[in-house]
Amino acid sequence: MSTLTEKKSGLKGWSTRDLLVTAVIGIIFGLLTAPLHLLVTSVEMFASPIASRIVVGVFFIPGFMVPYIIRRPGSAILGTIILCLVQVPINPYGWGVLAMIITNGVPMEIAFLVTRYKKFSYAMMMITGALVIIPGYTAHAVSFGYANLPPVVVIVGGLVAIVSTAVLGGALAKALADQIAQTGVLNSFAIGQANQEEI
């Protein structure tokens, strides 16, 4: 049986190691990005919604990294769910942070589903990042009353968010996963098998 066939068969179910690596990534970035919620909220209140969007892409890293490593349906959503659950007790929005599952996780899952979890080039990851932020930014703009701001501020804020999610979300997630994969610890996952095929 070819590696490609094995990969297709593996999409039918999650293994314990798949769940473990998803949990680890979600927990780590859930803890690391929790302080960013305070920073983003403070900047948005006292400075500008444009500046607050600069780091928004970091919140998308688990949703990109998990699918890139294990390449299974549901991986983007599960990575986002774990990140959100970790942040519930330590972020200023409380349970409201779970909205990220809908605004962040679902669009990413749809994007990877369209490509059948096979295309993970830098270009693809960045394009995906640029697209998936649109519903999230729209929901954020509605929730925080961006309609009262000058249109140019809303538009520029959206463009900053798009660039941030493309670079700090898609591209950075791929770069981090590639660096980890080079150590050999991910050889038993889809990313490791794909790298071996390229060699």
58-69 tens-digit pLDDT: 989 999 999 999
**Residue 142 pLDDT grade (very low, low, confident, very high; cuts 50, 70, 90):** confident
| Average pLDDT score, the chain | 85
Q: List phi, psi (to 5°) of 10.
A: -65, -20
Quote the pLDDT of residue 196: 63
Quote the pLDDT of residue 3: 40
Which comes out higher in pLDDT, residue 143 or 73? 73
The answer, yes or no, to whether residue 71 has pLDDT greater than 80, is yes
> Domain boundaries in the chain?
15-188
* Ramachandran class of 184: left when φ > 0, alpha when ψ lies in -120 to 50, beta otherwise: left
90-139 tens-digit pLDDT: 877 778 778 878 888 898 999 999 999 999 999 999 999 999 999 888 88
Residues 87 and 42 sit within 8 Å (Cβ to Cβ): no
Tell me how many degrees the CA angle 23-32-72 measures, rounded to the nearest 5. 30
DSSP string, 164-184: HIIIIIIIHHHHHHHHHHTTT
Query: pTM to 2 decimals?
Result: 0.83
